[in-house]
Amino acid sequence: MADHLTIEELLLASGGEAGTGAESHLAACAECRARLGEMRQGIDEYTSYHHSTLRMTMPPPPRPWRELPAPVRAPHVMPSRRVYGWIAAAAAIVVAVFLLRPSRQATGIDGSQLLARAEAVEGTPARTRRIVLRGSHGTLVRPAVWIRTRGDHPLRARFEQAGYSWDEPLSVRSYNAWRRKLSRKLESVRQARHPKTSEPVYVVTTETDANPLKMAALSLRERDLQPVSATLSFTDGEAVEMDEAPEEARAKPDGRPSTAAPSLPGAPANTHAMSPAMQELQVLTALHGIGADLGEPVQLAHENEKLVLSGSGVSEARREEIQNAVAGLDFVIPRLESSRPKPPSTTRRTEASAASQTGPVRALVEQRLGTAMSFDDFVNDALDASDGVLSRTHALGALATRFPNEVEKDLPAQGRLLLETLRSDHLGAASEHLKRLAKLLTTGFGIDGNATSATRPWHEACVAFRDSTQAFDTILTGMLTGTRKADVDLLRQAFLRMKAEAQTAGVQ
């Protein structure tokens, strides 16, 4: 017996006609058993394809089949090995044609047209959307879009070398941008069910020998053509899988979403083994999930290896919500005092409305507004937008103060990622409030202009962004409440400074 069975012997074995020697060899040889299993699977798949698809597309016979006379039984003659060789080769060719042909022929869908349609309807991902990347470097949970330059990650260099976007990897735009630059490519489309959601998807696959990224497969949800997963294969064997991250909120027994702090991938199971900085990150993540890190009257302080969460002036409902958010963190001691605080923004609106009924600011703004909106609506919108920027810069400043460079560099990789995620969320939200504020200032005061950003560490940039926002908010509030003269030039200077600091901190 040779080292391994020949294809003819495997074919005989697949039909249950293996001799004693072949059966003994199969019992002892894992490789031949695997080859036999692959052969049987290929034959089964072709048989299924023939009955379910191929036979249905064949034209009917030109005339009815005639009855054949019963054959005269002849002595059984075992076909020669050469005949079995031809049969095996033919079967292999048929199976290969079926398995390897572009699936576009099965679906009738052109990949380029499908991707063009998907790109046309693709919107901007929500700031809260997360994706998961899995590869040889472990699991990375990150924002779907990074709005500014990020720290190094082992995968980043691979993506950039292949010309595939690292800032927005699970995107039709990024997939199309990569494939359009390929000098040679083979593409196919197939329809399938998403392995996690069972939703129908189109799987677009692009293969090339002209790029370090040799294959990319993007799954598009059929109902809206939104990208839900992707697989990237590089020439050196590295494979990366991307999916939408699951919702972190879990249902409570009563059906309400849980506000318990999410666990960090790679974090120690024993929360007491975390460093104080990691404990603070866990708590800030929990507070961020309910918006309690945006100027809430709460403080964090370490006490005997515990983290005390204290605060006063918190409503009873809010106190319960915060306690529920950190309930899963056994190192946290909540010490929150309830009361009924007066919302500061309501006080500012009341003062602004009362002080500017006949003041110079009202006359100036109303002249520019015309009939576009009322002065009271302008005041409310302007204060809301300024409050929005102020709350986000407060959170950014708190991150910069709690996690200076010497603390940040000692965080584990998942801790640095979590810090990046928190910062990215606040910068993205601040960007939206700034855009709204800029439009209002242009409409009401004629303030416009470009700002020049600088380069400095994010810690310093976020603190400067916070300070400039506080200075601007003081001037704006003073003008609208009548406690400061209507100095549009001073307001413009403060706004442009705040805009410059925002760009330096990473706001787009």
Partnered with residue 220 across adjacent β-strands are 202, 227
User: Can you tell me the distance from the alpha carbon of 425 to that of 298, in angstroms, rounded to the nearest whole number?
Assistant: 20
Element (H, E) at 247: none
**Which has the closest alpha carbon to 240: 248, 229, 226?**
229
For every residue of 184-211, DSSP letters joined together read S-EEEEEEEE-TTT--EEEEEEEE-SSS
User: Can you tell me the distance from the alpha carbon of 160 to that of 155, in angstroms, rounded to the nearest whole number?
Assistant: 9
Residue pair 165/177 in contact by the 8 Å Cβ criterion: yes
Q: Is 306 helix (H, G, I), strand (E, B) or coil?
A: strand
User: Can you tell me the distance from the alpha carbon of 132 to that of 162, in angstroms, rounded to the nearest whole number?
Assistant: 20
Residue pair 420/147 in contact by the 8 Å Cβ criterion: no
CATH class (in words) of the domain with range 107-244: mainly beta
**Residue 118 identity (one-letter amino acid):** A
- Domain-wise residue ranges, the chain: 107-244, 271-338, 344-505
Could you tell me whether strands 213-221 and 227-234 are parallel, antiparallel, or unpaired per DSSP bridges?
antiparallel
Detail the DSSP E strand segments found in 252-342: 298-303, 306-314, 332-338
**CA distances, 77 to each of 73, 74, 173, 209 (Å):** 11, 9, 63, 49
Rounded to two decimals, what is the model's pTM? 0.52
Partnered with residue 455 across adjacent β-strands are none
Fold: same for 107-244 and 271-338: no
- Which residue do the tokens 């302080």 mark? 301
Partnered with residue 335 across adjacent β-strands are 310
What architecture does CATH give domain 271-338?
A: 2-Layer Sandwich (3.30)
Q: Is 232 helix (H, G, I), strand (E, B) or coil?
A: strand
Q: What is the DSSP letter of 54?
A: I
User: Can you tell me the distance from the alpha carbon of 356 to that of 379, in angstroms, rounded to the nearest whole number?
Assistant: 10
User: Can you tell me the distance from the alpha carbon of 396 to that of 390, in angstroms, rounded to the nearest whole number?
Assistant: 10
- CB-based burial of residue 359 (10 Å sphere; 0-12 exposed, 13-18 middle, 19+ buried)? middle
Q: What tokens does 165 get? A: 């976007």
Query: pLDDT tens track of the chain, all 508 residues?
Result: 447 788 778 778 777 777 778 888 887 777 777 778 777 766 766 666 555 555 555 555 555 555 555 555 444 444 444 444 445 555 554 444 444 443 333 446 788 889 988 988 887 666 567 788 888 776 777 778 875 444 456 788 889 999 999 989 999 999 999 999 999 999 999 998 888 888 999 999 999 999 999 999 999 999 999 999 999 999 988 899 999 876 543 333 333 333 344 444 444 444 446 788 998 988 888 888 788 888 777 889 999 889 999 988 888 888 888 888 888 788 899 998 865 545 554 455 555 555 455 578 888 888 888 877 888 889 999 999 999 999 999 999 999 999 999 999 998 887 888 888 888 888 888 988 999 999 999 999 999 888 888 888 999 999 999 999 999 999 999 988 878 888 999 999 999 999 999 999 988 7
Element (H, E) at 288: helix 276-289
Q: Is 293 helix (H, G, I), strand (E, B) or coil?
A: coil
